[in-house]
Amino acid sequence: MKKPLRSNAANNPTRRAHWLALGISDEDMQKPKIAVVNSSSELAICFSHLDGVARIVKDAIRAAGGLPFEIRTTAPSDFIFMSGGSGYMLGSRDLVVNDIEVPVQGAQLDGMICLTSCDKLPPAHLMAAGRLNIPTILVVCGYQPAGTYDGERVDIEDLWFGSVQHNFGKLDAATLQGMSDNAVRGPGVCSGMATANSMHVVCEALGMTLPGSAPVLAESPRMKAFARESGKRIVEMVLEDLQPRAIMTAGAFRNAVAAVLAVSGSINCIKHLQATAIETGVDIDIFKLFNDMGGRIPVLAAVKPNGDNTIEDFESAGGTRALLKQLSPLIETDVLTVTGKTLADNLAEVIVANDEVIRPLTRPFSTESPIIVLRGTLAEESAIVKLGIRDGRRKTRFTGPAIVFDDAPSALKAIGDGDVKPGAVLVVRGMGLKGGPAMAGSASRVVFALDAAGLSQQVAFVTDGQLSGLCNRGVTVAEVSPEAAVGGALGLVENGDEIAIDVDRKQIDLNVAAATLAARRARLGDVPMSKVSGYLSIYRRTVQPMPTGAVHVLPERDPGV
């Protein structure tokens, strides 16, 4: 053991009294005390199996000589929270981080094992690991099995897109009902390469999960085996004093960016990785890194919605471990992982089971970056466009007159009414970190609506809101920063203003004279924001700008604990 345990109860008689009353013996109190971070919830299928995973993990910790303490956090599910005000979707990420800090740091536990599932849990767990810097391992709790309807595979992502198609008369009610009846056949996260599975890939690429554990079918024997082995390993990590900041180094972050690019993952990974880097104390610009690495990291996997392969195909081909094996000449394999070994050691014996699904560097799906960070007079800090797998025919330039809306419902109505014409740049604002707040709204539904109306290749879409990891249709620019609500140029756009987007030049500009914009700014003054209360009002006051990954902390807070 490299250093004494943090949680020695023998030196604290009141703590000892509490734990004795819980049935914990003096002998057990001398063991490594491990937080089992569980977000089990009856609200969503994403988390419905986590109590069972927690039992497996706790048994493994005890068998390895540790003492587990199960703690609970909020359980954010985007599909459930969308109906209650989607500001809770991004806002919940940072709430989970605080949910972890309070009991783990307060009780001075020695290590933690996080049961990671739906979109906001993986980044929250990584952020908490970086903040607390105690031995931590993440257990990927798997993707949900998809169903079939009318002889075709159907999953929750197909259903979401179908619901918008139905609203535009492109899908009948009976088919939508049939899809809804069959889309989800068990627990776990959405089964495409959207945010959850993209972030599971990130967790392994960062070295914070056991190799080979992402992706994995929820409740499968493989998932349970990884849970047991992780429970054993976290006790060893505590005894070795293997801390997250020794694992999540600058090199590990570069590997994670490479992995996201190689699977054409969710753009949400950018802000989540930036937030994790800040919590970990790593001085790295993830936004810049995506552009710098985008030109040399090819797309090696094409899982839905990027291509025809399924997440099951990707797992069978070897998953993230096989992806990293293919990428190994381009990434930093000397970085440490939770195994206590380097990434090179972990990859030494790996064989790619299907190189049609996870291709070699010599035969990629695309050599053009699927994700590009734009800057310009409309986005002085950043904006993100995802083009997915590019075949040379995708439109990368778009110039047109703006048609502006201050909320998504108005934009959706305009699309439905035929008021959005080919050649326009559709602007929807007031959906950013503070304006939403927490990027509330239905920006993704606007993308799906443009597609349903046959306009996705004829109308560009620009927003300060957040998009689902599924959105890669047309020229779609999201997370424009600074956002409209804090005085960003997006808030000054008027109908008819010319907006020019040039993905190849990584540029997005508002072609309006600076003097005109200054006059508008003076006339408009402060931008009015929606009234919120409770946690969302706290979030609005304290959330930091997008270049921080939208960390929900005061700027003077020391990122180390």
How far apart (Å, rounded) are the C-alpha atoms in residues 476 and 463? 8
Tokens describing residue 330: 């381009």
Question: What type of residue sits at position 176?
Answer: L
Q: End-to-end alpha-carbon separation of the chain, Å? A: 22
Assign residue 341 a region (left: φ > 0; alpha: ψ between -120 and 50; beta: otherwise).
beta
Alpha-carbon dihedral angle through residues 185, 189, 195, 201, given to the nearest 10 degrees: -110
* C-alpha separations of 225 from 56, 213, 218, 222, 228 in Å: 9, 9, 11, 5, 5
Set 468, 481, 530, 533: catalytic member: 468
Neighbouring CB atoms inside 10 A of 353's CB total: 13
Sign of the alpha-carbon torsion through 199, 203, 205, 211:
negative
Short-list 299, 324, 313, CA closest to 212: 324
Residue partners of 446: CB distance under 8 A and separation at least 6: 408, 411, 412, 415, 426, 428, 461, 463
217 phi and psi, to 5 degrees?
-70, 125
Tokens describing residue 526: 């402060």
CA 104 to chain centre: 23
Residue partners of 425: CB distance under 8 A and separation at least 6: 398, 400, 401, 402, 403, 459, 460, 461, 462, 499, 501
DSSP string, 75-139: ---HHHHGGG-THHHHHHHHHHHHHHHHHHHHTT-SEEEEEE-STTHHHHHHHHHHHH-S-EEEE
Sign of the alpha-carbon torsion through 505, 506, 511, 512:
negative
> In which residue are the tokens 């190994």 written?
328
Are 298 and 290 within 8 A, CB to CB? Answer: no
Helix H or strand E encompassing 179: helix 173-182
Short-list 394, 365, 393, CA closest to 460: 394
> In which residue are the tokens 């700008």 written?
545
Are 217 and 312 within 8 A, CB to CB? Answer: yes
Short-list 190, 200, 158, 189, CA closest to 176: 158
Q: Is 328 a catalytic site residue?
A: no
* Angle of the 195-205 helix axis to the 319-327 helix axis, nearest 10: 60
Q: Give catalytic residue positions.
A: 468
